[in-house]
Amino acid sequence: MTKDGEGVEAPTLEQARQQVEGYGLAVDPQAVLVAVRLISAGARVGRAAEVHFSRFGLSTGRYRLLADLEGCGGEKSPSGLAADLGVSRATVTGLVDGLERDGLVARRASVDDGRGAVVVLTARGAQRLRDMAPEHFGRLEEMVGGLSVQERTVFLDLLARVVRGSAALTAD
């Protein structure tokens, strides 16, 4: 094990090589190491994001739903939210229930489909996003502040490719 940038133990290439060889596999140990470290980093960033959003009385999921509503003009169907956020309808229902209790969103009948409902960003929800924006975006910038503009460009390309490759974890 080696220490990462925050002093947390991280597997080494040699450890990945030993593990792969121990199982008698013909896979690239470096690819395995990159994937393992990415999964670990994703979990750590996810935990940090929850702490960050809790400062504003939100969770990551609640923030993403509010931001999605703001980005589409303030109104969307629950199924549209679920599709855009990559979560189930049940998850959206739970998120909307909490946000509605806090007065940040409201449900109303759809004008397009009288049987359906839409979720609407309230003035209070829009104000919450405005109020948190300076600190939120400042912290996001600080999080990647150690990377140059060119490195961030490369990182975005690499990240998109890794995300596409993540389907390998869920394929049958």
> Mind listing the pLDDT tens digit for each residue in 26-70?
999 999 999 999 999 999 999 999 999 999 999 999 999 999 999
Rounded distance between C-alpha atoms, residue 53 and residue 132, angstroms: 9
Sign of CA dihedral 27, 28, 31, 36: positive
pLDDT score, position 52: 98
Structure tokens at 101: 């209790």
Q: What is the mean pLDDT of the chain?
A: 94
Segments of 13-102 assigned E as strands: 75-76
- Binned at pLDDT 50, 70 and 90, residue 8 comes out as low
**Helix, strand, or coil here: 4?**
coil
Bigger pLDDT: 7 vs 39: 39
Sign of CA dihedral 5, 10, 15, 17: negative
